[in-house]
Chains A and B, each alone.
Chain A
Amino acid sequence: MPARTQWILVALVVFLAAASGRGAAAEISPTPLVLATTTSTYDTGLLDVLLPLFEKLEPQWKVQPIAVGTGQALALGRRGEADVLLVHAPAAELRFMEEGHGLSRLPVMHNDFVLLGPPADPAGIRGLGAPEALGRIARGGFPFVSRGDDSGTHKREKALVKEAGLKDLGTGVVETGAGMAHSLRVADELGAYVLADRGTFLSLRHGLRLIVLAEGDEGLRNPYSVIVVRPKEEAGTPAQRGHRLIGARRFAAFLRRDPIQQRIRRFGLRKYGQVLFHPDAMDGDGRGRTR
């Protein structure tokens, strides 16, 4: 093949790639709705089930789920970079609402935190209450993997440490600065203790050696809320803001609809033999609370 023909072919291929790239960018016609959420709703696969249902129902919006820790999700909301939040850190959420960043905050579901560790349990925490267990881990300097990312789980870990009257979790702490699934893998590899939400743990359990050592405390209850963010003046035109706000409200209402609440309860039931997320808004008035 002569050099010139080769050149033309190369140029053609590159041009076609470029043209199709532009086409892909232009395809997005529904309004993007940014959902900042905790990693647990994402890593368990719950959002993969719920979002298509929402988009089928409300095709004017395309949900962009940004899976970050609750702390970062709230920060995105404060900046006006997210339209709706699905988070699990009640104290921080209340502060967010008091500061006027949210328009509504409603319960969606809950599960619980569990304290996991290697089956050998070197610190001997099996069956203890969470504060006592953390005390033993801290005093013995046993390895503990902390999220270290200001997520809801990390906030709860800090609250439990405080509740146990400890300054920190001792010399064995490793901070991953990453999501729940990643932190679970690190803990598993290091043979360390770790605080996790039950949903993420169950969804990954088969690849992990970690087992549940402490559970059932009232202090380990893990409620998830949906927050509609007050749109920021600077974020887009009034029309854009208004449309996003409608979308955010519809999404919040969607999560609390009966069929969706039932779908949340069914989620993972067959695969893991347990309910991963217990719905909290059945019949729209919280009668579905199971704990």
Chain B
Amino acid sequence: MNEILGGLGEALRLVVTWDAEIVAVTWLSLKVSGTATFLAMALGMPLGTLLAFGRFPGRRLCVALVHTGMGLPPVVVGLAVTLLLWRTGPLGAWGLLYTPTAMVLAQLVIALPIVAGLTRTALESLDPRLRLQAQALGATPWQTLVVLYREARMPLLAALMAGFGGVISEVGAVMMVGGNLKGATRVLTTATVTETRQGHFDRAIALGAILLVLTFLVNWGLTRLQERKGRP
């Protein structure tokens, strides 16, 4: 019990004194997961839109695949990306293994189905008359899309946050493709593992607490958005 209380006190001190290593680790976590989420949005929103409104053979299969991907185990993604990025692997020439870029890549694979799947759900749950009405008023396809995105902006933002929440708390993939290199590819989750292993419980608790606060903020934001959606 003393260890836990002492750890919490020390954790608070590390955060308050702006411990350089912990700040760097937190910043890298935000950068990697933020970039992965941004890219997942850039690719996942068009994909989700296509799945919601497109009519093409194999659409159902694609939807099923995306939904499966929403629960993709991060360690499997980590393994797959590692195999691709080995020096002797197909993408080995890029020299990306154990870099933040590799971590972004792995997290993109994790976040993409989440963003695409939730985008599809968000757009499909819109009143279909909205689309017809826009078209009847002479809107071009692009204008119609803008109208629909605006109408679904809250669930779309929720999709983004779900993607971000999924990758920032993920440990398996970043551990494998990033290698958990101190000062280079160590993020909040992998640093927590390392510090616990080495018996630095105070630092582990500090890192865990920061991660907890970040995921709380994301989920709090999500809930706020969902509540606002209910009101006019």
A-side interface residues toward B, CB under 8 Å?
3, 7, 10, 14-15, 17-18, 20-22, 24-25, 28, 32, 34, 43, 45, 48, 62, 64-66, 79-81, 179, 181-182, 185, 203-204, 206-207, 232, 234-237, 240
Asked whether B81 is an interface residue with its Cβ less than 8 Å from the other chain, the reply is: no
Contacts of A179 on B, CB cut-off 8 Å? 197
Asked whether B144 is an interface residue with its Cβ less than 8 Å from the other chain, the reply is: no
CB A129 to nearest CB in B, in angstroms, measures 30
Asked whether B30 is an interface residue with its Cβ less than 8 Å from the other chain, the reply is: yes
Judging by beta carbons under 8 Å apart, are B31 and A81 in contact? no
Asked whether B215 is an interface residue with its Cβ less than 8 Å from the other chain, the reply is: no
Judging by beta carbons under 8 Å apart, are A235 and B92 in contact? yes
27 A-B residue pairs with CB within 8 Å? A7-B153, A14-B34, A14-B38, A17-B30, A21-B35, A21-B100, A24-B100, A25-B104, A28-B99, A28-B184, A32-B95, A62-B184, A64-B184, A65-B181, A65-B182, A79-B88, A80-B88, A81-B88, A81-B97, A185-B197, A203-B198, A207-B199, A207-B201, A234-B92, A235-B92, A236-B87, A236-B95
**What total of A-B pairs shows CB separation below 8 Å?**
87
5 cross-chain pairs, A with B, having the tightest CB-CB distances, nearest first? A17-B34, A21-B35, A235-B87, A18-B38, A25-B101
Interface residues of B in 72-107 (CB under 8 A from A): 86-88, 92-93, 95, 97-101, 104
Asked whether B52 is an interface residue with its Cβ less than 8 Å from the other chain, the reply is: no
Contacts of B153 on A, CB cut-off 8 Å? 3, 7
Complex CA–CA separation, A28 to B93 (angstroms):
16
Judging by beta carbons under 8 Å apart, are B157 and A10 in contact? yes
Judging by beta carbons under 8 Å apart, are A66 and B30 in contact? no
Q: Are A80 and B87 CB-contacts (below 8 A) given A18-B38, A21-B34?
A: yes
Judging by beta carbons under 8 Å apart, are B37 and A66 in contact? no
Q: Are A182 and B197 CB-contacts (below 8 A) given A7-B153, A21-B100, A66-B98?
A: yes
Contact with A along B27-52 (1 / 0, CB 8 A): 01011101101110100000000000
